[in-house]
Amino acid sequence: MTKNSLKILLISPLPPPAGGIASWTKQYIEWSNNHDLNIDIVNTAVIGKRAEIINSKTKISDELKRTKDIIRELKKKIIDFKPQIIHLNTPCGKLGIIRDYLCARIAKKHDVKLFIHYRCNISDQVRKSRISRYFLKKIANIADINLVLNTSSKEYLKSEANSCSIKIANFIDKTFILQGSKQISDKIKTISFVGHIQRTKGIFEIIDVARGFPEITFKLAGPIANEIKEIDKPSNLVFMGPLIKQEVRELLIDSDIFLFPSYTEGFANAMLEAMSVGLPIISTPVGANIDMIESMGGVIVEVGDSLSIIDAIEKMKNSNDRSKMSEWNLNKVKSEYTTENGMSKLISLYLKEVDK
C-alpha cells in the first residue's frame, strides 16, 4: 500500500475556537491536501459558551449534544468513507475521555486500525480522577497504536496502563521558521509570551517579574481570561490581545526572550513558534518543555516561582549565551519539528500498521 491509497479519518477539533489541537488539525489537513492524501474528519470542536469564552464551565447538556453528534457522524463516515486508519486526538479531559473511549469502541467494532493521540500531559489530566484513570487504561489498551507528546506521558502510560507508546511531536510549517540567524541585542529589551492569558499559564508570575525589571517591556499576546482583566499591572507590561499568525511571528522576532511559565502543557505550540525564530526560552519543566529545549535552548524554572524567573533573566543578560541558545533552537526545529518531518513519521506508522 502507498500513502495515496490510504484512507484516514481524523477525530479531532477544527477552529473555531483556536487552540493547540485545532491548530494541529488544520496543519494536518493542509499538508494532506497538498500531498494528495485521502482524509476526512469528524470535527470535535467544543460548542456553546465554551466556544466563546475562555475557561467557561462545562454545560452537561452541551456536552451530551456534542457527544451524540460526534458519535452519529463517526458511524456515518466509517460506513461512507471506509477508512483504514482512524486517528483520534484526545485532550484527556474528564468527560472527553469517556466520549473518546466510545469512539474508540466504534472504530474497533468496524475493524479499523486505531491510533490514539494523547494531546495533553497525561498525568496532569487524569491522576486526580479515578474515572479518568479507568478510561485511560481502557482506551490505551484498545488502541492499535498510542501516540504521546512528551516523555512524561510516555512513562505515565507505561506505568498506569502498561501500554507502550510512540512520541510524536507537534510540528510547524517551514514558512514560519526564520531563515538565517536571529539578531541578538546586547541588552534584553523585550520579553514576550503567547498563549491564553490566564492563571495556569503563569501570568501572575510574569506580572510579578515585570515589576522587578522596569527597563524591560513584557508583551503578552493572546485572549485574556476574566480573572486577569481587572488586575493591577505595571506600566511595562502590555496585553496585546489575540494576534494573527504573522503578527505573532513579528512579535517573536522582535523579542529577546520568550517567557513561558505554564503550570501544565502537552507540547506547547507557542514555545515551538518561539524556537522557530531563534528566541531563547525561559520555561517551566512541564509537558514537552524539557524535551524541546533540553539544556541548550534556554533556562528551566520552577512552576509558580517568580524568583527563579528573575534569576533566569539575570543569567540570560549575557548576549553570547543568548546567541548560542538562539542558534541551537533554530537547528532543533529544522531537524525535528517541521511539518514534513512530523507528517512523514505519521504516514510511515500508518502504512506499517495497515500492512501488518
In sequence order, the 6+-apart residues with CB closer than 8 A to the CB of 26 are: 14, 15
Total Cβ atoms within 10 A of residue 286: 22
> Tens digits of per-residue pLDDT, 64-77?
999 999 999 999 99
- % of the chain at pLDDT higher than 70: 98
Measured CA to CA, the distance from residue 272 to residue 250 in angstroms comes to: 15
> Tens digits of per-residue pLDDT, 296-328?
999 999 999 999 999 999 999 999 999 999 999
The number of helices, as runs of H, and strands, as runs of E, in the chain is: 14, 12
Domains 3-171+338-354 and 190-336 share a fold: yes
CATH of span 190-336: 3.40.50.2000
Measured CA to CA, the distance from residue 65 to residue 45 in angstroms comes to: 12
Strand partners of residue 43: 12
Measured CA to CA, the distance from residue 101 to residue 240 in angstroms comes to: 39
Q: Which three cell numbers stand for residue 279?
A: 528566541
Total Cβ atoms within 10 A of residue 252: 25
Query: Amino acid identity, residue 125?
Result: Q
> Tens digits of per-residue pLDDT, 145-177?
999 999 999 999 999 999 999 999 999 999 999
pLDDT confidence of residue 244? 93
* Protein fold of 3-171+338-354: Rossmann fold (3.40.50)
Answer for the pair 162, 328: CB distance below 8 angstroms, yes or no.
Answer: no
Instruction: Determine whether 285 is exposed, middle or buried from the number of CB atoms within 10 Å of its CB (0-12, 13-18, 19+).
Output: exposed
In sequence order, the 6+-apart residues with CB closer than 8 A to the CB of 338 are: 171, 172, 173, 174, 177
Q: What is the largest CA-CA distance in the chain?
A: 62
Domain boundaries, the chain: 3-171+338-354, 190-336
Task: Note down pLDDT in tens along the chain; length 356 residues.
Answer: 888 899 999 999 999 887 789 999 999 999 999 999 999 999 999 877 665 665 667 788 888 999 999 999 999 999 999 999 999 999 998 889 999 999 999 999 999 999 999 999 999 999 889 999 999 999 999 999 999 999 999 999 999 999 999 999 999 999 999 999 999 999 999 999 999 999 999 999 999 999 999 999 999 999 999 889 888 999 999 999 999 999 999 999 999 999 999 999 999 999 999 999 999 999 999 999 999 999 999 999 999 999 999 999 999 999 999 999 999 999 999 999 999 999 999 999 999 999 98
Radius of gyration of the chain, Cα coordinates, nearest whole angstrom = 21
> What pTM, to 2 d.p., does this model score?
0.93
